[in-house]
Structure 1
Amino acid sequence: MNPKKTDQGRLISGYQCDPPLAYKEFYATKQLYENLTGRRQERRKDVIAYLLVQSYKVGEITPEDANRLAYETALEFTKGDHAFIVCTHVDKKNIHTHVYFNSTALDATRKFQNLYNSYEVLRSINDRLCKEQGYYVIEHPKEKGKSYKEWSADKAGTSWKSKLRETIDAVLPSAEDFDDFLDRMRQTGYEVKRGKYISFRAPGQERFTRAKRLGADYTEDAISARLAGKQKPTPMQKKARRFFAENINLLIDIQAKIDAGKGPGYERWAKIFNIKQAAKTFNYLSEHGIADYAGLLDRMAAVTEDMSSASSGVRKLEGRMTEIGTLKKHIVDYSKTKKIFDQYKTSGWSKAFRAQHTEELRLRQEAKQAFDALGGGTIPTMAQLQAEYTTLLEQKKARYEEYRRLKDDQSELQTVRSNVDKILRVELPDRQRELERSRQS
């Protein structure tokens, strides 16, 4: 939860726990587990929490979406039965997320069974969610990573590969095209070899290093894509796009393209926009009564607002569930320390006795303060609290399903908007000329 890695804590979320106090809550659940079940694990053998890590290709996901996707993955993997925290790190070039989930279930009656194939279940959930939302999935994962020699060299800053990656990253922003990129690499002192694979060799290095060995972001295709990604629209293109976006009737324009199927503009348009995509986009806009770009943006804003409301509802329910968990712990502590407290009272409030039982009396006092905070009302029983917790859990699941549905709608809207934007980009020159002719007449 390092603030420097999580954008000052903004990229931290929790399920059924308060992230800053998660470790205390995890321990409290384990204590409750021991009291309820009578089972106890040796400290050195006990598992406090499990760690999951998700990582993404550079530039393919926002930190917020990475945090949300990790939350969804953890929730499905644990079936909502275990508290967890989600911490997304943005201190490295690739966004990645750490998830810690409590080994003890929320109701403190059982623990997570880490079977030999648990990782396969986790990978299946992760891959399916990523595919559904358009993120890259490793189809045939390799188990082998860096050798210890390479890892230690990277750590010490002496790896040829590490230095080559840094040089490429430094040179790319100023390069105009691929040939210019290679010239600039030579100017830094690297020897360049072209062949089936492009390779580089630094001064003093014995062998060439193939760029593809540096990782997916350093293949020739990836470098070319990074260079192409720097291109920005001209002021005229921005102006034309803005005019078109404000005036186009999306349904009429898309339907016209679908019906045309010929003409000088169609061939150019079809090269980057599939007719099936156009039909799918048209159907969505038609079904939801969206006739113009402004309407599309309004619907996106409405869905985002509804998502925020659903998310807020989930967090509110989680807050009460956390309160119930804390109150259950106090009830257990109060009952467990009754005998010690009675002995303390019989001793005449002996200081020596208190010194011998400081921890038990502290738990008793904290529980008493929690009960006093109820305002003199009847202290609920464990059964009542568990019943309320079960009800809240069902409400939370329903609310979260609503959030998931809205998220799917948002994802579909983003695809529709992307499709519409592709149409806008292709049609811009013609529309701009029409605008100029109308002004002249």
Structure 2
Amino acid sequence: MAISKIRPLHGRNGESFVKTLKDREDYGMNPNKTDQGRLITAYQCNPHYAYKEFYATKQLYETLTGRSREHRVDVVAYLVIQSYKQGEITPEDANRLAYETVMEFTRGEHAFFVCTHVDRKNVHTHVYFNSTALDATRKFRNYYNSYKSLRAINDRLCKEHGYFVIEHPKEKGKSYKEWATEKAGTSWKAKLRQNIDTALPSAADFDNFLTRMRQAGYEIKRGKYISFRAPGQERFTRAKTLGADYTEQAIGARLAGRQRPTPVQKKARREYVSGINLLIDIQAKIDAGKSPGYERWAKIFNLKQAAKTFNYLSEHGIADYAGLLAHMTAVTEGMSEASSVMRKLGGRMAEVGTLKKHIANYSKTKKVFDQYKASGWSQSFRAQHAEELRLRQEAKQAFDALHTAKLPTMAQLQTEYTALLEQKKAKYEEYRCLKDEQYELQTVRRNVDQILRVELPDRQREQGR
């Protein structure tokens, strides 16, 4: 379960913008933390020079808008931190999940880079994104409770990727007595956690887990919340009061996370799938009413889910399993194509943004260059204005590399950049829709697989066990 938070990074007294940002980024990209830099990814920037690129965008913003803020109160960048429980996620998946989260949170309008740290027991990720937008016309608005929006995106993506999410993270506090007895390992809750943790690894499913808890001496009460009572205990203990990992949903997720079909089950399922019409089979389940065998099936699979699955398959004209797989492939390919187009648009946006920066720098340093020329190319003057002259030289080299007689104007570049940004936004919305459909398809496929698994002949299921 990922825990996410966002922090603004302010300028520090006595330090330049570049120094402030470089120090923060050096910490995030520490090779000892990021597996020698392997766990660093970026969007619209080079992470090793991001502090310079972020600063150049900020300068362009001030040139275009005429707005600036005092250094000590200005936000130079934002830091998003995601952390996970030990062993819950691989560093590579944590990096991809952070990339997707910040991409959606910033709508692809701010450059950022992702650093996943593996120097501690739990994997955690630092993401730095530029406070100034890519088009240098505005800054990120860190609105009230923006962390809640970030958390909502983070939780949804965690669910899509199969990671557990805390639905209600705030928990009831412990009394001193409860804390002291739990620390000593003598509280009812501490013992119940130990017994649950002992029963789960060897349990085949949730019913088998409950059987093992009864064998351990617990009395079980099912209702809105599942509760346990040990021999000699006066009152039942609700599992949800043990912590986020011990709710009925969390226990079910822990069981589901390690269950895999056996080769015999896979073979039987393939044989059964090859000759089935999904719509007919699912509709038959919905129409079963209270016929013999219905009760057993209803315990294993939710009838409402069957109806939703049937509606989806019917609306999309999917009649068999091969059609379902083909539809999933088409959606995945659509996502890949949309992602490729976004990368191309982003590449051109970066080129336009760089050219705008050079034009702005060239114009801004004209007066200094004229003075340098009038001084007879004085070395002392050059030393005093080294940074301005360097910016002008870089701009001149960039113009020469274009091999064009006439440079585009800032207005033309801004028009092109705005058009590219609109195209990228539209393509990103298309990508998001496909992503949502992919998630829905994964749910549909799981539902179909569950129906087919339940329908397997008893002998095949016994062999599978």
Q: Which residue matches 1:84?
A: 112
User: Amino acid of the residue matched to residue 318 of structure 1?
Assistant: G
Secondary structure, aligned partner of 1:285: helix
Distance, in Å, in 1 between the alignment partners of 2:310 and 2:162 is 21
User: In the alignment, does 2:67 pair up with 1:36?
Assistant: no
Cα distance change, pair 336–298 in 1 and its aligned pair in 2 (3 A): same
User: Amino acid of the residue matched to residue 237 of structure 1?
Assistant: Q
TM-score w.r.t. length of structure 2: 0.69
Matches within 5 A, 1:9-158: 9=38, 12-14=41-43, 16-55=44-83, 63=94, 66-67=97-98, 69-76=100-107, 81-87=109-115, 97-120=125-148, 122-123=150-151, 138-142=166-170
Say if 1:250 and 1:293, in contact at 8 Å, map to a contact too.
yes
Q: Which residue matches 1:305?
A: 333
Q: Which residue matches 1:176?
A: 202
Distance, in Å, in 2 between the alignment partners of 1:338 and 1:46 is 28
Cα distance change, pair 415–67 in 1 and its aligned pair in 2 (3 A): same
Say if 2:199 and 2:212, in contact at 8 Å, map to a contact too.
no
Secondary structure, aligned partner of 1:248: coil
Q: Which residue matches 1:321?
A: 349
* 1:312 to partner: Cα distance: 1.1
Say if 1:334 and 1:363, in contact at 8 Å, map to a contact too.
yes
User: Amino acid of the residue matched to residue 320 of structure 2?
Assistant: D
Secondary structure, aligned partner of 2:51: helix
Aligned match of 1:385 in 409, 413, 420? 413
Cα distance change, pair 197–329 in 1 and its aligned pair in 2 (3 A): farther
Aligned residue pair count: 392
* 1:383 to partner: Cα distance: 0.6
* 1:25 to partner: Cα distance: 1.7
Secondary structure, aligned partner of 1:361: helix
User: Amino acid of the residue matched to residue 101 of structure 2?
Assistant: A
Q: Which residue matches 2:294?
A: 266
Distance, in Å, in 2 between the alignment partners of 1:224 and 1:275 is 19
User: Amino acid of the residue matched to residue 408 of structure 1?
Assistant: D
* 1:218 to partner: Cα distance: 6.4
Distance, in Å, in 1 between the alignment partners of 2:171 and 2:262 is 46
Distance, in Å, in 2 between the alignment partners of 1:330 and 1:265 is 74
Say if 1:344 and 1:353, in contact at 8 Å, map to a contact too.
yes
Secondary structure, aligned partner of 1:49: strand
Cα distance change, pair 63–120 in 1 and its aligned pair in 2 (3 A): closer
User: Amino acid of the residue matched to residue 266 of structure 2?
Assistant: K
Per mean C-alpha deviation after superposition, the further-off stretch among 389-398 and 270-279 is 270-279
* 1:12 to partner: Cα distance: 2.8
Q: Which residue matches 1:406?
A: 434
User: Amino acid of the residue matched to residue 111 of structure 1?
Assistant: K
* 1:340 to partner: Cα distance: 2.0
Cα distance change, pair 264–56 in 1 and its aligned pair in 2 (3 A): farther
Cα distance change, pair 125–84 in 1 and its aligned pair in 2 (3 A): same
Q: Deviations over 1:169-201 (max 9, x none)?
A: xx97995358999xxxxxxxxxxxxx8599xxx
Say if 1:74 and 1:99, in contact at 8 Å, map to a contact too.
no
Per mean C-alpha deviation after superposition, the further-off stretch among 294-303 and 121-130 is 121-130
User: Amino acid of the residue matched to residue 267 of structure 1?
Assistant: E
Cα distance change, pair 39–234 in 1 and its aligned pair in 2 (3 A): closer
Q: Deviations over 1:70-93 (max 9, x none)?
A: 0354135xxx55333345667777
Q: Deviations over 1:84-103 (max 9, x none)?
A: 33456677777655433322
Q: Which residue matches 2:395?
A: 367
Q: Which residue matches 1:251?
A: 279
* 1:426 to partner: Cα distance: 0.5
Residue identity (%): 70
Q: Which residue matches 2:359?
A: 331
Structure 1 residues without counterparts, runs of 5 or longer: 146-158, 182-194, 199-210, 434-441
Q: Which residue matches 1:153?
A: none
Per mean C-alpha deviation after superposition, the further-off stretch among 128-137 and 65-74 is 128-137
Q: Which residue matches 1:340?
A: 368
Distance, in Å, in 2 between the alignment partners of 1:133 and 1:226 is 15
Q: Which residue matches 2:385?
A: 357
Per mean C-alpha deviation after superposition, the further-off stretch among 240-249 and 211-220 is 211-220
Say if 1:32 and 1:329, in contact at 8 Å, map to a contact too.
yes
Say if 1:17 and 1:25, in contact at 8 Å, map to a contact too.
yes
Say if 1:250 and 1:292, in contact at 8 Å, map to a contact too.
yes
Q: Deviations over 1:325-365 (max 9, x none)?
A: 11111011111111222222233333333222222211111
* 1:401 to partner: Cα distance: 1.0
Distance, in Å, in 2 between the alignment partners of 1:428 and 1:196 is 37
Aligned match of 1:277 in 290, 294, 305? 305
TM-score w.r.t. length of structure 1: 0.72
Distance, in Å, in 2 between the alignment partners of 1:214 and 1:107 is 49
Per mean C-alpha deviation after superposition, the further-off stretch among 382-391 and 342-351 is 342-351
- RMSD after superposition: 4.5
* 1:256 to partner: Cα distance: 2.0
Q: Deviations over 1:381-408 (max 9, x none)?
A: 1111111111111111111111111111
Secondary structure, aligned partner of 2:106: helix
Distance, in Å, in 1 between the alignment partners of 2:34 and 2:417 is 34
